[in-house]
Amino acid sequence: MADSTVVPHHIAIVMDGNGRWASRRLLPRLVGHKQGVESLRRCVRACRERGVRVLTVFAFSSENWNRPQDEVSGLMELMAMALAREVPQLAKEGVRLHFVGERAGLSDKVRAGLAQSEDATAHNTALVLNVCFNYGGRWDIAQAAAALAQRGEPITEASLHAAMGMAHVADPDLLIRTGGEMRISNFLLWQAAYSELYFSDRLWPDFDEAALDEAISAYGARERRFGKTSEQIQAARSA
Ligand code: IPE
Ligand code: IPE
Ligand code: MG
């Protein structure tokens, strides 16, 4: 990529399309999810190489519990396995892991895996990787409001933001969804208020470095106005 490319500080991704990737090959859906882990590994490395500082991925939604039971238990197993296999390398590469979502409702084994992975990477600074797991944007807003109410604190935009699961990072600059659907599916409802949206028809296992570069260059061509006029933005840029 050219040096002049504007690289987003924070990229968020709805990693969609694993099931279809597998079905097209007449394989079980879980094979697609396994391939999705490979794709995530590649994406983490590519983001780090390009200077992205925060990557947030949607791995399991509050609503994904409604899938067939064998797929849900397969996904839970895969999470535990992927952590055991991938975390040592991520730790070496300077990646700091955070899990965002409701921990209650997860098995002891998965919960322990999440906590251990966070501890093992807590001192890293090259890239923050937030994995949204058992996460829903509505859950996050509601749990933040409940926590403030419980503490008797006023509910403001700033206090809600601080009580939410993504308070440790700036809001996403670029939000990518793979798999061709044009919806948010309860991801980062609060934090994506001013994210640039980018929809890719590629299924998540096929989302490679070139596809990431396309998304980043599309982002670079956007004008982010945050409610201002284009003239104001141009004037600030040339000042
Ligand atoms: C996204 O892929 C991963 C999860 C939701 C866990 P899907 O499993 O939704 O794949 P499609 O949309 O059925 O192809
Ligand atoms: C969103 O994908 C959740 C994840 C990628 C983890 P879904 O496949 O669950 O979304 P819908 O059901 O098509 O909206
Ligand atoms: Mg899907």
Is the CB of residue 74 below 6 angstroms from any atom belonging to ligand 1?
A: no
Q: Are 44 and 55 in contact (CB under 8 A)?
A: yes
Ligand 2 atom having least distance to the Cα of 179: 8
Q: Which amino acid is at 62?
A: S
Q: Which of 3, 64, 201, 213 is an active site residue? A: 64
CA dist 67 and 158 (Å) reads 35
- Check if 134 is active-site: no
Q: Which residues line ligand 2 (CB under 6 A)?
A: 14-16, 58-61, 64, 181, 183, 185
Per-residue pLDDT of the chain (239 residues; tens, 9 = 90+): 444 579 999 999 999 999 999 999 999 999 999 999 999 999 999 999 999 999 999 999 999 999 999 999 999 999 999 999 999 999 999 999 999 999 999 999 999 999 999 999 999 999 999 999 999 999 999 999 999 999 999 999 999 999 999 999 999 999 999 999 999 999 999 999 999 999 999 999 999 999 999 999 999 999 999 999 999 999 999 98
Output the CA 85–ligand 1 centroid distance in Å. Answer: 22
Judge whether 196 is annotated as a binding position. Answer: yes
Residues of 6-37 as b/e, b for ≥16 C-beta within 10 angstroms?
ebbebbbbbbbbbbbbbeeeeeebbbbbbbbb
Output the CA 51–ligand 1 centroid distance in Å. Answer: 28
Output the CA 154–ligand 1 centroid distance in Å. Answer: 38
The ligand whose atoms approach the alpha carbon of 58 most closely is 2
Q: Which two tokens stand for residue 113?
A: 């895996």
Q: Are 45 and 212 in contact (CB under 8 A)?
A: no
CA 16 from centroid of its chain's CA atoms = 11
- Check if 119 is active-site: no
Output the CA 233–ligand 3 centroid distance in Å. Answer: 37
The reply to whether the predicted model has a pTM over 0.95 is yes
Q: Which two tokens stand for residue 46?
A: 């590519």
pLDDT in tens, 55-114: 999 999 999 999 999 999 999 999 999 999 999 999 999 999 999 999 999 999 999 999
Judge whether 3 is annotated as a binding position. Answer: no
Domain 10-238 annotated CATH 3.30.70.120: no
227 torsion bin: left (phi>0), alpha (psi -120 to 50), beta (else) = left
The ligand whose atoms approach the alpha carbon of 203 most closely is 1
DSSP string, 170-194: PPPSEEEE-SS----TTSSTTTTTT
For 182, counting Cβ atoms within 10 Å of its Cβ (0-12 exposed, 13-18 middle, 19+ buried), the class is exposed
Taking ligand 3, which is a single-atom ion, which protein residues have CB atoms under 5 Å away?
16
